Amino acid sequence: MFDKKMEESDKKFNNRGFTLIEILIALAIFSIGILGVASMQILSVNYNGYARRTTQATTIVSELIERTMTLPYDANDLDPANSPQQVMTGIYTVTWNVTDNVDNKTINMTVSWPERRTTKSIVLNYIKPQDI
């Protein structure tokens, strides 16, 4: 008789399901995982934006280098007396200095843009040989 009551009481408490504590622990673990994924997503968006602006800046300065390479050696834009020169393209500022050497000109181009609380920049140097 005592055994029979014990079996009946075991059946009452042997519900196959989750307790409230188990559910709360699972939700806490899931929340921590989601917060990690969310912070990675924010970092990814920020770095993608920086990469886009860096690519645009490099493209702008490359186009300007190509343009100045087609200029004659004694062009006004390549005169060291006019250095530094500056061009604005959107948020980008391109500045270049020309140094006259014996048989070539060294051109130092810097493109800069505002990035949050700082200013980022890329510097490219190239040499324009004297026309033959």
Domain count, the chain: 1
pLDDT for the residue numbered 31: 92
Give residues with Cβ within 8 angstroms of 80, minimum separation 6.
97, 98, 99, 100, 105
Q: Is 100 contained in some domain?
A: yes
Cβ atoms 65, 77 nearer than 8 A: no
Instruction: Please write the tens of the pLDDT for every residue from 71-130.
Output: 888 888 888 888 888 888 888 999 988 888 888 888 899 999 988 788 888 888 888 888
pLDDT for the residue numbered 27: 93
Cβ atoms 54, 122 nearer than 8 A: yes
Where residue 30 falls among pLDDT bands split at 50, 70, 90? Answer: very high
Q: Is 2 contained in some domain?
A: no
Q: Is 52 contained in some domain?
A: yes
Q: Is 105 contained in some domain?
A: yes
Residue-number span of the structural domain to which 106 is assigned: 16-129
Q: Is the pLDDT of residue 14 over 80?
A: no
Q: Is 107 contained in some domain?
A: yes
Q: Is 87 contained in some domain?
A: yes
